[in-house]
């Protein structure tokens, strides 16, 4: 049994006149000790998905369908109180900006001790010992001294280490990290990536990383979900996807990176813009920007415009694309549609 299983999850935000479907029909699983990446551009629904796993959705948003199971236990139907117990104890979150995550008016030590005591009946001395131990685990130098300092006295990298230490305090089973390195400098970023990788292996913690940065995701995760307009378009082993992406959108995303083109040459850009979640095109959401919506003969593939593609297995990945399906099965999709 997987640690976390998400099954056909649907999340909606009611608007004035209609609804935004932020996450549509998303299914995936996370094993113990596995590092999973969710990549997508802004508005792809990746943060909404991550927050919904713990029902941390901001108010108007709601889960319209599907299941989230944690160790086989259904989360979507739990009461707030039961959820709260799981939230702090078993699942921890790391946010983008470490400075806004930490309380500026409390010392590092106080914050760690308080969050321990909030979840466990534990003595001050014992809490202090655990907190210091966790700071050592995230390789904070001279932890006793840091203990008495305030967040603003630490550099960004140290702050993020402290945030990770707080996330580890209660020995969670899952850590959800929303853009954990985006606010950090390049030299610090590499170390945080190494630290997270090492911690997950050592403590057998499942990690879900949300990022727009394919390079970071590529270094940090083993499995990857690529999201576009609320749906998963491709999922599979990270290396495999980066080296040989199947879905036209993933291909476009990777080819658009400056690294993929010689210096001073035009970059391979994806035409057009990400659709707003309120106005997702019919059929395959990517089709207006996709060059494979035309057959080699230059005819429009009707299926791309009319039907949402189902995921098919291709290599080690699952890809939701009519064109890929046609390549694999060599059945022209037009005929199949009839």
Distance of closest approach, residue 183 Cβ to other proteins, in angstroms: 8
125 binds other proteins (CB under 8 A): no
In the beta sheet, which residues pair with residue 36? 208, 223
Distance of closest approach, residue 84 Cβ to other proteins, in angstroms: 27
Q: Which stretch binds other proteins (CB under 8 A): 98-106, 199-207, 270-278, 320-328?
A: 270-278
Q: How far apart are alpha carbons 139 and 54 in whole angstroms?
A: 29
The contact mask relative to other proteins for 84-123 (x = CB under 8 A, - = no) is ----------------------------------------
337 binds other proteins (CB under 8 A): no
* Pairing outcome for strands 223-228 and 91-94: unpaired
The contact mask relative to other proteins for 148-177 (x = CB under 8 A, - = no) is -------xxxx--x----------------
How far is the first Cα of the chain from the last one, in angstroms, to the nearest whole number?
Answer: 39
Question: Of 249 and 323, which CB lies nearer to other proteins in the complex structure?
Answer: 249
Contact of 38 with 46, CB cutoff 8 Å: yes
The contact mask relative to other proteins for 238-267 (x = CB under 8 A, - = no) is -x--x---------xxx-xxxxxx-xx-xx
Question: Of 58 and 79, which CB lies nearer to other proteins in the complex structure?
Answer: 58
List the one residue from 92, 165, 216, 285 that touches other proteins (CB under 8 A): 216
Alpha-carbon distance values, 266 to 176, 219, 251, 253, 269 (Å):
36, 26, 16, 15, 9
List the one residue from 11, 193, 285, 304 that touches other proteins (CB under 8 A): 193
213 binds other proteins (CB under 8 A): yes
145 binds other proteins (CB under 8 A): no
Q: Which stretch binds other proteins (CB under 8 A): 49-57, 73-81, 90-98, 209-217?
A: 209-217
Distance of closest approach, residue 165 Cβ to other proteins, in angstroms: 14
Distance of closest approach, residue 43 Cβ to other proteins, in angstroms: 8
224 binds other proteins (CB under 8 A): no
Question: Of 206 and 218, which CB lies nearer to other proteins in the complex structure?
Answer: 218
Beta strands in the chain (DSSP E): 4-14, 19-30, 35-39, 62-70, 73-74, 91-94, 174-178, 206-211, 223-228, 231-237, 311-314, 317-320
Distance of closest approach, residue 66 Cβ to other proteins, in angstroms: 26
Q: How far apart are alpha carbons 289 and 309 in whole angstroms?
A: 15
The dihedral through the CA atoms of 103, 105, 108, 111 has a sign that is negative
Question: Of 33 and 157, which CB lies nearer to other proteins in the complex structure?
Answer: 157
Q: How far apart are alpha carbons 201 and 58 in whole angstroms?
A: 32
Q: CB under 8 Å to 85, separation ≥6 — which residues? A: none
List the one residue from 215, 278, 300, 331 that touches other proteins (CB under 8 A): 215
Q: CB under 8 Å to 268, separation ≥6 — which residues? A: 252, 255, 256, 260, 261
For the record, the structure tokens of 286 come out as 């990517």
Q: How far apart are alpha carbons 188 and 95 in whole angstroms?
A: 16
Distance of closest approach, residue 212 Cβ to other proteins, in angstroms: 6
Q: How far apart are alpha carbons 165 and 159 in whole angstroms?
A: 10
In the beta sheet, which residues pair with residue 20? 13
Task: Give the interface with other proteins as residue ranges (CB under 8 A).
Answer: 16, 41-42, 141, 155-158, 161, 185-191, 193-194, 212-216, 218-219, 239, 242, 252-254, 256-261, 263-264, 266-270, 273-274
């Amino acid at each position: 049994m997987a640690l976390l299983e998400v099954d056909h999850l649907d999340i909606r935000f009611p608007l004035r006149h209609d609804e935004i479907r932020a996450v549509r029909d998303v299914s995936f699983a996370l094993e113990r000790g596995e590092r999973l990446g969710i990549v997508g551009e802004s508005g792809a629904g990746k943060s909404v998905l991550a927050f919904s796993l713990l029902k941390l959705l901001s108010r108007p948003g709601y889960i319209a369908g599907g299941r989230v199971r944690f160790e086989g236990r259904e989360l979507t139907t739990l009461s707030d109180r039961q959820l709260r117990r799981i939230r702090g104890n078993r699942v921890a979150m790391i946010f983008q900006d470490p400075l806004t995550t930490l309380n500026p008016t409390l010392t590092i030590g106080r914050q760690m001790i308080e969050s321990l005591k909030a979840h466990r009946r534990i003595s001050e001395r014992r809490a202090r010992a655990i907190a210091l131990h966790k700071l050592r685990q995230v390789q904070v130098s001279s932890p006793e001294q840091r203990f008495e300092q305030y967040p603003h006295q630490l550099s960004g990298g140290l702050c993020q280490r402290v945030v990770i230490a707080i996330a580890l305090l209660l020995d969670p089973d899952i850590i959800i990290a929303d853009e954990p390195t985006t606010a950090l400098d390049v030299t610090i970023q590499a170390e945080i990536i190494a630290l997270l990788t090492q911690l997950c292996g050592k403590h057998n913690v499942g990690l879900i990383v949300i990022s727009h940065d394919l390079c970071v995701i590529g270094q940090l995760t083993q499995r990857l979900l690529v999201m576009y307009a609320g749906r998963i378009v491709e999922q599979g082993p990270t290396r495999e996807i980066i080296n040989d992406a199947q879905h036209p959108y993933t291909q476009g995303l990777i080819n658009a990176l400056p690294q993929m083109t010689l210096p001073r040459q035009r970059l391979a850009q994806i035409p057009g813009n990400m659709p707003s979640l309120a106005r997702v095109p019919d059929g395959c959401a990517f089709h207006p920007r996709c060059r494979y919506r035309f057959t080699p003969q230059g005819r429009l593939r009707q299926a791309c415009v009319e039907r949402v593609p189902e995921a098919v297995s291709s290599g080690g990945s699952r890809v939701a694309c009519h064109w890929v399906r046609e390549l694999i099965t060599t059945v022209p999709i037009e005929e199949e549609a009839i």
